[in-house]
Structure 1
């Protein structure tokens, strides 16, 4: 197995320091997902040990991860089975690259959860090298929304990447 990138928290400090979410759950079995079917999108992270963790959509990824690094983060929606019917890497706290999908797939495969085989909606994040703003790249426009600086073509939130 290839070494996975670990994503550190890059969001606001006040969210990093917020208390853990009350409905957070480490998913250990397929049966544990029954309560999430048809509940709408939920927040998820894949911990460095490959463990899938879930919380309500209004929970912060960093709280769900206990402030630690993650292999992936985003939102997930469950349907009958249970199965994953939608999954995205939407997390402005960790800004994971779409290449984190294999960590999500492995966590779901370990639980025998059917899934779409990739993000149903993927987000591209870039850090502006000029002003430090976190950006969501839309329509392949790699321009900082705050200062109009060109954004890097490759993910750049690791120390030394900007």
Structure 2
């Protein structure tokens, strides 16, 4: 896959997801360096090559900012730290495998309880990966639906289409509602 030229505006017209997780994690993220930007295949290859072999056994933390740049961090990193505390167009976990011409995405999801992005953020991640010319699946390999409970405020993962709060049993809205 040929890389697209880098540039701003990859997320034009796509909503940005604000951080909605615990304030203490956002505060702690201010003292941590953001994730490593992967603007090119060489950036990605260098970052992945520098990771200890054991880190490749699990997916990595990723975010894509308003500038369309993919940022990567070890899995146990907080998404808000990876994003430098900024809103994101996409966030979740991502795994790579070696391919004949470099690295390609093996798995990707939108699992970030700090940003709770809707599954439609796939288009933003896909654009970032296409920009650097990394092979990828056609959609998330696992997709997560998040909703905030209008009654108790709890963040919920919707499982099996069951839109009910896990804490208070209130009905959850069908549309993303963290803004």
- Between the aligned partners of 1:32 and 1:116, the Cα distance in structure 2 is 20
| The one of 84, 87, 90 aligned to 1:66 | 84
Q: Does 125-134 or 2-11 show the bigger shift?
A: 2-11
Name the SS for the 1:110 alignment partner. helix
- Between the aligned partners of 1:154 and 1:137, the Cα distance in structure 2 is 11
Q: Which residues of structure 2 form unaligned runs of 5+?
A: 1-9
User: Are 1:21 and 1:55, in contact at CA under 8 Å, matched by a contact in 2?
Assistant: no
Correspondence for 1:31: 42
Give the count of matched residue pairs: 158
- Between the aligned partners of 1:21 and 1:85, the Cα distance in structure 2 is 28
Correspondence for 2:96: 78
Q: 1:7 to 1:21 in 2, by over 3 A?
A: same
More helix by share: 2
Q: CA RMSD in A?
A: 1.6
Structure possessing the higher relative contact order (Cα contacts under 8 Å, 6 or more residues apart)? 2
Normalising by structure 2, we get a TM-score of 0.83
Q: Which residues of structure 1 form unaligned runs of 5+?
A: none
Normalising by structure 1, we get a TM-score of 0.92
- How do residues 109-148 of structure 1 correspond to structure 2 at under 5 angstroms? 109-148=130-169
Residue 150 in structure 1 maps to residue 162 in structure 2? no
- Between the aligned partners of 1:5 and 1:32, the Cα distance in structure 2 is 26
